[in-house]
Amino acid sequence: MIAIIKYNGGNVNSVQNALSRLNAGSIITDDPEVIRNADKVIFPGVGEASSTMASLTEKGLDRLIPTLTQPVLGICLGMQLMCKNTEEGNTDGLGIFDINVKKFPARNIVPHMGWNTISGLRSGLLSELNENDFYFVHSYYCELSEYTTSVCDYILPFSASLQKENFYGVQFHPEKSGKVGNEVLQNFLKL
């Protein structure tokens, strides 16, 4: 069973629908016991950083998520909040990835929205993909770091995906990225 973390935002239904298309059972929940005992966990992301962290803190999920030992996938804001800090609301994240999240400089249209290419794929989730164009919607980006497993360039190069131990993150939305997004989710399901 896959637990999709419920909080005061997120695109939880889109993620659940994508998993259903792949015949993967899932539950949308904020129950710490259910999350702790799930085979895999997805931390989806659409929303605002400070209110999302407040919601996680209220339910004790800010302490639980970093201790999980099963595969965990953060999507968009979910990945950003797995980092140390975000400039969005000057919010402290979960600290899984020791990097900062910054706002794109206004040298082009922000948010970065639409299809874009990623490169330098070196993660188990991404390394054998047949395509590398994904759907993005974000105004903040994760810096490049030792955890970066792929790169996208919009205004500047940023981490399109991250990995540290059992924690994976993608800035793009696999649930909105068609066939190649399904491949990423399938690869996560196989972990």
The H-or-E segment that residue 14 falls in is helix 12-21
Residue with tokens 């993608």: 170
Q: Is 76 a catalytic residue?
A: yes
Query: What is the 3-state composition of the chain as percent helix, strand, coil, each rounded to the nearest 5?
Result: 30, 35, 35
Residue 142 among the catalytic residues: no
Is 87 an annotated catalytic residue? Answer: no
Nearest C-alpha neighbor of 34 from the set 63, 6, 62, 15: 6
Say whether 130 sits in a helix, a strand or coil: coil
Contact predicate 71/188, CB 8 Å: yes
Per the residue annotation, which of 33, 76, 146, 183 is the catalytic one?
Answer: 76
The catalytic residue among 88, 152, 173, 183 is 173
Active-site pick, 112, 138, 175, 183? 175
Contacts of 109 (CB under 8 A, 6+ apart): none
Residues labelled as active-site residues: 76, 173, 175
